[in-house]
């Protein structure tokens, strides 16, 4: 039952550990069938927020609804609406891939025949058929992560939480997992993921929130966030093509000319420039630096 149009609705959520305000009033809303990426550095509070939304820990203040159910008052209903793939592998190393899925399927109430069928489907979907009979301790990082996701999908749930799904994976494994996450979206699931990878948020997410210092310091579509950083970024490169600085500009001729005049006066004559569109890196640096220094200057962001 969906009491709201949003799959996830968060209002002024707070969590404190001792003197530390880990979450300092988080509000956000995730539309059904979309991917929402929470982007933040180590210790930003990403896992804390996922644990609160998946009912593993209780907030100190504020409220949140998942698929219309309150995370505190309707905890049981929330648990029936979600699946969680945690930051650290939750599969049993000694069991095989197939045995891990079968165990979860039986715990979830499937019959032995139903469990075997579900395991076969998931092993196929996550390209683990060849490794199905091998113990997980022999798996690569990418295989473990795919198995983790497969295990969390044993029961079909509308809302999926993925805490840093691709951390530590190589580019090929990361892209394979991105495809699998996009397929889950195509099936109509709502996906809330955390990441430290700007490219991941940029590639996957319909909407991104940047979490820094316990607050969401910027949120929007990847395009709108990049647009907020500026029209064009001027990169300064030395004669070895090493990046010296990246300076955001509005992209207007007057602004670019003035910036170039200042840079020409400050750097050696063999310094070269490249003009490019803002990247998610620029967004991240700009907004996390702004949060750390409330009255920032451009130098500090991009030095």
Among 35, 39, 46, 139, binds ligand ATP (CB under 6 A): 46
Nearer to ligand ATP, 42 or 186 (CB): 42
Residue 44 binds which entry of Mg ion, ligand ATP, none, with Cβ cut-offs from 5 to 8 Å by kind?
ligand ATP
Nearer to Mg ion, 87 or 271 (CB): 87
Q: State the minimum distance, in angstroms, from the CB of residue 57 to ligand ATP.
A: 8
Contact status: 208 vs ligand ATP (CB under 6 A): no
Residue 212 binds which entry of Mg ion, ligand ATP, none, with Cβ cut-offs from 5 to 8 Å by kind?
none
Contact status: 43 vs ligand ATP (CB under 6 A): yes
Among 7, 37, 48, 122, binds ligand ATP (CB under 6 A): 48
Contact status: 45 vs ligand ATP (CB under 6 A): yes
DSSP-assigned beta bridge partners for residue 233: 248, 276
* Chain residues 50-89 in contact with ligand ATP, contact rule CB under 6 A: 87
Among 19, 42, 113, 240, binds ligand ATP (CB under 6 A): 42
Question: Strand order in 20-31's β-sheet?
Answer: 20-31, 6-17, 61-66, 69-70
The residues binding ligand ATP (CB under 6 A) are 17, 22, 40, 42-48, 87, 196
């Amino acid at each position: 039952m969906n009491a709201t149009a949003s799959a996830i609705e968060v209002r002024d959520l707070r969590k404190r550990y001792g003197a530390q305000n880990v979450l300092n009033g988080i509000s956000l809303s995730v539309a059904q069938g979309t991917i929402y990426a929470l982007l933040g550095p180590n210790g930003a509070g990403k896992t804390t927020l996922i644990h609160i939304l998946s009912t593993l820990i209780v907030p100190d203040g504020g409220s949140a609804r998942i698929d219309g159910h309150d995370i505190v008052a309707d905890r049981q209903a929330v648990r029936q609406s979600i699946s969680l793939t945690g930051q650290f592998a939750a599969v049993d190393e000694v069991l095989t891939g197939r045995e891990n899925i079968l165990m979860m399927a039986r715990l979830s109430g499937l019959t032995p025949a139903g469990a075997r069928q579900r395991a076969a489907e998931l092993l196929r979907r996550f390209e683990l058929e060849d490794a199905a009979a091998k113990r997980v301790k022999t798996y690569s990082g990418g295989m473990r992560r795919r198995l983790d996701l497969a295990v969390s999908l044993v029961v079909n749930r509308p809302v999926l939480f993925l805490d840093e799904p691709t951390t530590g994976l190589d580019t090929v494994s990361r892209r394979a997992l991105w495809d699998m996450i996009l397929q889950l979206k195509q099936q109509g699931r709502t996906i809330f993921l955390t990441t430290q990878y700007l490219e991941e948020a940029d590639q996957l997410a319909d909407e991104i929130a940047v979490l820094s210092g316990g607050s969401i310091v910027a949120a929007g579509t990847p395009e709108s966030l990049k647009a907020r950083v500026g029209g064009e970024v001027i990169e300064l490169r030395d004669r070895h093509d090493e990046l010296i600085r990246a300076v955001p500009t509005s992209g207007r001729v007057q602004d670019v000319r003035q910036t170039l005049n200042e840079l020409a006066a400050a750097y050696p004559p063999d310094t070269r420039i490249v003009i490019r569109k803002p990247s998610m890196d620029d967004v991240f640096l700009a907004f996390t630096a702004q949060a750390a220094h409330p009255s920032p200057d451009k130098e500090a962001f991009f030095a």
